[in-house]
Chains A and B, each alone.
Chain A
């Protein structure tokens, strides 16, 4: 069975440009998370979905970040415009319900120059 799939793996963009990341969770997992991992740090939650509903986006910088999970399966995370401080690894994870163990994708490494 395929794990959590993310694309692209790497992205380099100039500041002020938009960027989008895509995530396909494990089949049947209704809970989806986006985390951001800065260099030398642990992941920090940005947003959590239960099916297609964003039930916690309190840590998402809403002035420039947006996310969607159409049909409760795939999800996209967008940044517009990107800033230098957004350089990080963006991780998607999924679980079978909120109490289930979270499985992570390989992440998208974003570099803003």
Chain B
């Protein structure tokens, strides 16, 4: 079993829809949770960075962490065609440097 499991997708949604992306994990030591966006043939770009449980909002993006359930989510409101990309969840422990990534979910927002 992988340490981080991510809903595989792909997802195709109409412009303006809410996109919901999810990851589960097994390592209770994880404290830092990230979402990266990766456009085709580009490197991952940090989108959201959260510590421990709770919600964090940045513009149209909301990250949620539920450590009791070992479950994290990313919501994209009012999705745009420019949001079409692969989204990777990543996490690490307090004393860790190594990021453990999910496999990614590819999202297509149709105009």
A48 to B43 CA separation, bound complex (whole angstroms)? 18
Q: Which residue in B4, B6, B42, B99 is a CB contact (below 8 Å) of A102?
A: B99
Task: Flag whether A85 is at the interface (Cβ < 8 A).
Answer: no
B92 to A: closest C-beta gap in Å: 9
Contact A48–B103 (Cβ < 8 Å)? no
CB–CB A106/B42 < 8 A: yes
With contacts A42-B88, A42-B90, A101-B49 taken as known, whether A106 is within 8 angstroms of B101 at the C-beta atoms is: no
B104–A56 touching, CB < 8 Å? no
Tell me the complex Cα distance, A101–B34, Å: 9
Question: CA A109 – CA B45 in complex, angstroms?
Answer: 17
A77 to B28, CA, bound (A): 33
* A107 in contact (CB, < 8 A): yes
Interface size range on A against B:
20 to 34
| A101 lies within 8 A of B102 (CB) | no
Q: When chains A and B are docked, how far (Å) is the Cα of A110 from the Cα of B33?
A: 29
Q: How far is the CB of A93 from chain B (nearest CB, A)?
A: 8
> Smallest CB–CB gap between B94 and chain A, Å?
9
Q: Does B98 contact A (CB under 8 A)?
A: yes
- List residues of chain B with CB within 8 A of the CB of A98: 97
Partner of A91, one of B44, B97, B98, B103: B44
Contact assessment for B98 and A48 in the assembled complex, using a CB-CB cutoff below 8 Å: yes
Q: Is B29's CB within 8 Å of the partner chain A?
A: no
- Is the beta-carbon distance between B103 and A40 smaller than 8 angstroms? yes
Nearest CB of chain B from residue A85's CB, rounded to whole Å:
18
Q: Which residue of B lies closest to A95 (CB)?
A: B97
